[in-house]
Amino acid sequence: MPFASASYRPVWVGLGQIGLYLLALVTLSFYVRRWIGARTWRLLHFLSFAVFALALAHGLFSGTDSGAPWVVWMYLASGLSVVALTAYRVMLSRSRVAAPKTRSATVRS
């Protein structure tokens, strides 16, 4: 039960638990894709970004090794790579939308 424990950093542990529940939802949606449709499935899979953010916050603020330099670098590398690749993906999709479509067939007069 998220946020129910008062013993060890309840906010950060609770956020990690919510991330786990969302991860289960995203994973299970794969098996019901044909019944929920591709659009709903895709929208559910956008929750993966929230799952990553919750897991990263959980690890940073409730992890027992979070003070170790190698852990800090691991969190930093994974967080920055997800942000950079997401930004790249957004820019790529926007450039495809903005690019004018060319006609492949010749125009008959």
Do 3 and 10 form a contact (C-beta atoms < 8 A)?
Answer: yes
Least trusted range by pLDDT, from 20-29, 60-69, 75-84: 60-69
Could you say which DSSP state residue 32 is in? T
Grade residue 102 by pLDDT with cuts at 50, 70 and 90: low
pLDDT digits (tens, 9 = 90+) for 90-100: 999 888 877 76
d(CA 51, CA 13): 14
Domains of the chain, by residue range, sit at 10-98
Model pLDDT, residue 20:
94
pLDDT digits (tens, 9 = 90+) for 10-46: 888 889 999 999 999 999 999 999 999 999 999 899 8
pTM for the full predicted model: 0.75
